[in-house]
């Protein structure tokens, strides 16, 4: 049966994902003051970072409408949707509304929304898992069951240059962000199983923080030879390579990839941020 994967634009695509005809990217909207950016193929990271640094205000995002998802429901027999954590964005709720409305008139349709409980490369890995299963001939029901289990076991960690965007968007307390910025302390952060953000540790300076994060990854990963390591960076490929090397020095994954952040991921990661999922 034919299928489509609808990913909200916090999913940071690899080149291989971009080439898959089954994948559709549903853009969120980003606002820097009164300037509106559509997080699609027209997104310009350099322009976004420049505008963000020049503005005294934090950029904001708006999730896709239910209609933005529904317009693709006729494209295939099976529809899989992947969204940013429902505890970080309204994208999951919008996708669920779209599904509920559509299924009222098309109860025979096979549609499922995966709350990635993550962001960025955590969503990327979810899309890759769906493709792996569909390429192997898995049924809709098997995909839903196995990918749901995959999402629960998947882990996300990150280290950012600044916590301002997370703080101003209500993801952290102001005190945490202020102390970190003043003392050059870089917290090692993680996503919880239900998609919230917690602090694991901290270190003085970015290099030390990335090495501490690598140690946490080596300590909590299970069956690394069967898992893929995804690394997203915001405008710092060399730092992503450094992170990859630090992790691979401690533990060997099945494979790994590096992607640059698109619009929404850039908003949260800020210039120089590193996000890791596995």
For residue 123, pLDDT over 90 is answered with yes
List, for residues 171-207, the tens digit of each pLDDT value.
555 445 545 556 788 999 999 999 999 999 999 999 9
Task: Calculate mean pLDDT across residues 264-276.
Answer: 96
Strands 29-32 and 23-26: unpaired
- Domain limits for position 239: 156-277
- The verdict on 12 and 149 lying in the same domain is yes
- The verdict on 94 and 161 lying in the same domain is no
| Residue ending a domain, choose from 136, 153, 170 | 153
- The verdict on 134 and 216 lying in the same domain is no
**CB-based contact 10:119 (threshold 8 Å):** yes
Query: Tell me, what's the pLDDT at 174?
Result: 47
- The verdict on 243 and 224 lying in the same domain is yes
- The verdict on 148 and 162 lying in the same domain is no
Q: Which residues pair with 145 in a beta bridge?
A: none
Is there a domain that residue 171 lies in?
yes
Domain count, the chain: 2
* SS3 state of residue 67: helix
- The verdict on 7 and 123 lying in the same domain is yes
For all residues of the chain together, what is the average pLDDT?
A: 93
Q: Give the residue among 208, 270, 265, 268 at the shortest CA–CA distance from 242.
A: 208
Task: Calculate mean pLDDT across residues 251-262.
Answer: 98
Is there a domain that residue 247 lies in?
yes
List, for residues 14-38, the tens digit of each pLDDT value.
999 999 999 999 999 999 999 999 9
Is there a domain that residue 53 lies in?
no
Is there a domain that residue 33 lies in?
no
- The verdict on 14 and 118 lying in the same domain is yes
The DSSP string of 133-169 is HHHTT--HHHHHHHHHHHHHH--EEEE-S--HHHHHT
- The verdict on 215 and 80 lying in the same domain is no
Q: Which residue has the higher pLDDT, 165 or 115?
A: 115
| Residue ending a domain, choose from 153, 188, 217 | 153
List, for residues 141-161, the tens digit of each pLDDT value.
999 999 999 999 999 999 998
Query: Tell me, what's the pLDDT at 184?
Result: 84
- The verdict on 18 and 149 lying in the same domain is yes
- The verdict on 108 and 234 lying in the same domain is no
| Residue ending a domain, choose from 122, 153, 184 | 153
- Residue 1 pLDDT grade (very low, low, confident, very high; cuts 50, 70, 90): confident
- The verdict on 8 and 129 lying in the same domain is yes
* Buried-exposed string 137-173: b where 16+ CB fall within 10 A, e elsewhere: ebebeebbeebeebbeebbbbbbbbbbbbbbebebbe
Query: Tell me, what's the pLDDT at 58?
Result: 87
- Express as a percent the part of the chain with pLDDT over 70: 93
- Sheet with 185-191, strands from edge to edge, namely 197-204, 185-191, 156-159, 274-277, 228-233, 255-260
Return the CATH number at 262: 3.30.1180.10
Query: Tell me, what's the pLDDT at 77?
Result: 97
Q: What's the number of CA atoms in the CB half-sphere (13 Å) around residue 225? A: 0
Is there a domain that residue 97 lies in?
yes
Is there a domain that residue 199 lies in?
yes
Is there a domain that residue 208 lies in?
yes
For residue 260, pLDDT over 50 is answered with yes
Q: How far is the CA of 96 from the CAs of 24, 142, 181, in angstroms?
A: 17, 20, 37
From 57-66, 134-143, 183-192, 222-231, the region with the lowest mean pLDDT: 183-192
Query: Tell me, what's the pLDDT at 182?
Result: 60
Query: Tell me, what's the pLDDT at 180?
Result: 53
For residue 168, pLDDT over 90 is answered with no
- The verdict on 168 and 266 lying in the same domain is yes
């Amino acid at each position: 049966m034919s299928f489509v994967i609808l990913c909200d634009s916090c999913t940071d695509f690899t080149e291989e994902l971009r080439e898959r005809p089954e994948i559709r990217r549903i853009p969120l909207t980003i606002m820097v003051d009164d300037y509106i950016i559509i997080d699609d193929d027209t997104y310009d990271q350099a322009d976004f970072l420049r505008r963000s640094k020049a503005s005294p205000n934090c950029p904001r995002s708006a999730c896709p409408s239910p209609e933005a998802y529904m317009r693709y429901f006729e494209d295939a027999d099976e529809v899989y949707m992947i969204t940013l954590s429902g505890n970080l964005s309204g994208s999951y709720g919008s996708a669920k509304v779209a599904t509920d409305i559509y299924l009222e008139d098309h109860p025979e349709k096979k549609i499922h929304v995966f709350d990635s409980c993550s962001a960025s490369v955590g969503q990327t890995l979810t899309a890759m898992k769906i493709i792996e299963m569909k390429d192997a001939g898995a049924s809709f029901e098997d995909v839903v069951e196995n990918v749901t289990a995959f999402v629960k076991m998947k882990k996300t960690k990150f280290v950012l240059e600044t916590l301002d965007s997370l703080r101003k968007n209500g993801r952290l307390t102001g005190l945490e962000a202020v102390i970190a910025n003043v003392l050059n302390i870089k917290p090692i952060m993680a996503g919880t199983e239900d998609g919230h953000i917690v602090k694991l540790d901290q270190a003085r300076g970015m290099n030390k923080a990335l090495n501490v994060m690598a140690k946490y990854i080596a300590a909590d990963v299970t069956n690394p030879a069967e898992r893929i390591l995804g690394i997203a960076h915001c405008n710092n490929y060399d730092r992503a390579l450094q992170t990859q090397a630090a992790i691979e020095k401690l533990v060997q994954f099945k494979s790994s990839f590096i992607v640059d952040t698109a619009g929404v991921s850039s908003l949260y990661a800020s210039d120089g941020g590193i996000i890791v999922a596995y």
